[in-house]
Every structure is written in C-alpha cells, then in structure tokens.
C-alpha cells in the first residue's frame, strides 16, 4: 500500500457505519472517564502521611534541650483531590509557634493542639490520629557549660603501619545545656569507634551522647587517628655487660650487634631511639662457647625489633 493512500483509507473507514460507531463509543468513553475522575476527586477517603515538623519563632537566647521529632505521623480523611496532592509528595509542614505553646521552661502540645495544627496545614482535612499524640519539649535560657570530649576509640593499624599519638577530637570541647542549675558532668565521651587494618590517617564523626537532662552542642565531633607507614632500619648497638662479679672481666666477640626494627617514617632520620642489648653474666652456660643476648628498654614506637644474632662468643678474664 502506498503512503498517499493511507489518509484516504482512514477517512473512508471513519465515514463507514462501523467507523462511526467506534467514534461515538470513544467519545462516550472519554466523557465517562472525565465524570469518574470528577466524582473520585470529590469523594472522601483515608490515608496516612508523615508531616515534617518545625519549631518556629524560637528566641536566640533559648536552647531546646529535648530533641524535636523530625516529623509526625498523621492519619486523615479528606477529598480525593487533596489525597492526590499528598500522594504526589506535596505534604505541608506542621509548624509549631514557640511563643504560643511555651509554659515555664517547656513547650507543651496536647493531642487536640496537634490535630488542630495538622488540620490547618492540611486545608481543613478531618484528622483521625496524630502520632505522637502529645509533645513536650524542654528548653533553657542558661548558658552552656564547656566540657572536654574524650574519644572512645579502639583502633589497630594494618601491616607495616603504626598509630602515631592519640586519637584527636575536633572540636575537643563542647557545650552542655541543661534546664537545671548546672551539671555535674566534667567531660563527655563519644560513641564507641572500633576500627582495624588502618593503613592511612582516618577520620570518623561519632555522636556525643549528652548526660540525662542535657543537650550537647555540637552533638558530634570529628575523631582522627593518625597513621604512618613503617620502614625498616638497622643500626649497630654496643653490647652492655651486667652482673659481672668483682675481679672478673667479660669480653665479648663481637662487642656490637645489629638491631633491626621498623620505625615511623616521620622519625626515621630525626632521632636514634635508645636501645640496650645486654649480656648477663648470670646467663652463661660454661658448657657452651656462646652466651645469650637480651633486648631491653625498647621504645614503644618501634615495632618488630629483632637482633641480628641472639648470642655471641665470650671470654672470662680474671683480674
């Protein structure tokens, strides 16, 4: 069939008795669909939504102690047009005016208050249930008390790495606010951090739980664990003798021994850590020509410290 014949064929089909019947049916179907939508949008139905909650008009001198819920669950009944808007994500905010509901050092809202606010925000919808059904927020005008933060960290480095120094908090102090007259807390501790296999400096942001009846600002801090790579180093250390009886002299061959260890790269060239290699006269076995050596006073920052040889030859001279 040629393309030029298609429009003529369609026009001819529509002018036929069958085509006329189909066209009439489609028109009535469209009218019925429109009427159904109009009726459905005017009918009432029930649904559940979560309304964002906001506390407004809070003075700068006020600090809210109780955590404000981010939202409230609302079960409502309203017209289909309103439900369509809600299902499309257009959920209004439930706004609480601080000035209207404060009593003493508390902002209190009953179930009736919450339903009234939700009804206003939802254009007069019939509110069935609001959860939570009451709200009580404690606040204070007291100044915050600065206290230090202690990191609760257990961390282990990966192979050929080491932890340098102690974990650091930023900021290292926070403010505690309470409606009471002061607090007995002298410090706060972060939530536990447990990490292993660290091969590079790592920062995490744990929460800082406040003591009961208090609010911590900020309520989380950055905790940094400094990690450095380890590199091998070898140096010669003179062997010291100990517990040699008077009138005796202990001569060792060799008088020095190589000590191998791993050290953080930042101090590789800066310092020579003090190491002691000791030959104890009391460890001599007269039946053997070699005596054992022991490492002592090994700094904590050194890792995998080993002697190139664990024994040396010796001669005992009588003076």
Average pLDDT over residues 27-38: 62
Average pLDDT over residues 184-198: 92
The CATH class given to the 44-140 domain equals mainly beta
- How do residues 161-177 score in pLDDT, each as one tens digit? 888 889 999 999 999 99
The CATH class given to the 230-318 domain equals mainly beta
Phi, psi of 171 (to 5 degrees): -75, 160
- How do residues 219-233 score in pLDDT, each as one tens digit? 999 999 999 998 888
Tokens of 293: 């050596």
Domain boundaries, the chain: 5-42, 44-140, 145-225, 230-318
Which residues, 6 or more positions from 18, have their beta carbon under 8 angstroms from its beta carbon? Answer: none
- 83-122 burial, b for 16+ CB within 10 Å, e for fewer? bebbeeeebeebebebeebbeeeebebeeebbbebbbebb
The second-level CATH assignment, the architecture, of 145-225 is Beta Complex (2.170)
Residue 1 has pLDDT above 70, yes or no: no
Phi, psi of 13 (to 5 degrees): -65, -40
- How do residues 100-131 score in pLDDT, each as one tens digit? 999 888 999 999 999 999 888 887 777 888 99
d(CA 28, CA 34): 10
Asked if the domains at 44-140 and 230-318 fall in one CATH topology, the answer is yes
């Amino acid at each position: 069939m040629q393309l030029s014949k298609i429009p003529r064929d369609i026009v001819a089909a529509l002018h036929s008795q069958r085509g006329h019947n189909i066209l009439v049916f489609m028109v009535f179907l469209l009218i019925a669909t429109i009427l159904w939508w109009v009726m459905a949008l005017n009918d009432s139905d029930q649904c559940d939504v979560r309304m964002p909650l906001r506390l407004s008009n809070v003075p700068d001198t006020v600090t809210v102690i109780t955590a404000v819920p981010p939202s409230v669950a609302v079960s409502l009944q309203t017209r289909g047009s309103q439900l369509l808007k809600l299902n499309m994500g257009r959920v209004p905010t439930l706004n609480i005016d601080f000035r209207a509901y404060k009593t003493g050092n508390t902002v209190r809202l009953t179930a009736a208050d919450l339903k009234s606010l939700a009804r206003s925000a939802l254009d007069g919808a019939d509110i069935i249930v609001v959860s939570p059904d009451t709200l009580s927020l404690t606040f204070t005008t007291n100044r915050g008390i600065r206290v230090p933060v202690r990191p609760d960290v257990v961390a282990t480095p990966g192979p050929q790495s080491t932890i340098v120094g102690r974990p650091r908090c930023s900021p290292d102090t926070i403010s505690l606010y309470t409606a009471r007259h002061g607090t007995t807390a002298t410090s706060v501790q972060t939530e536990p951090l447990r990490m292993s296999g660290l091969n590079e400096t790592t920062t995490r942001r744990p929460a800082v739980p406040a003591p009961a009846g208090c609010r911590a600002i900020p309520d989380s801090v950055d905790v940094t664990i400094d990690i450095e790579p380890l590199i091998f180093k070898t140096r010669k250390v003179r062997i010291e003798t100990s517990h040699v009886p008077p009138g005796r002299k202990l001569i060792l061959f060799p008088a020095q021994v190589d000590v191998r260890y791993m050290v953080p790269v930042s101090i590789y060239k800066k310092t020579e850590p003090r190491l002691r290699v000791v030959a104890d006269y009391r460890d001599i076995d007269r039946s053997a020509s070699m005596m054992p050596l022991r490492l002592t006073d090994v700094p904590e920052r050194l890792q995998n410290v080993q002697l190139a040889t664990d024994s040396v030859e010796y001669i005992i001279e009588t003076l």
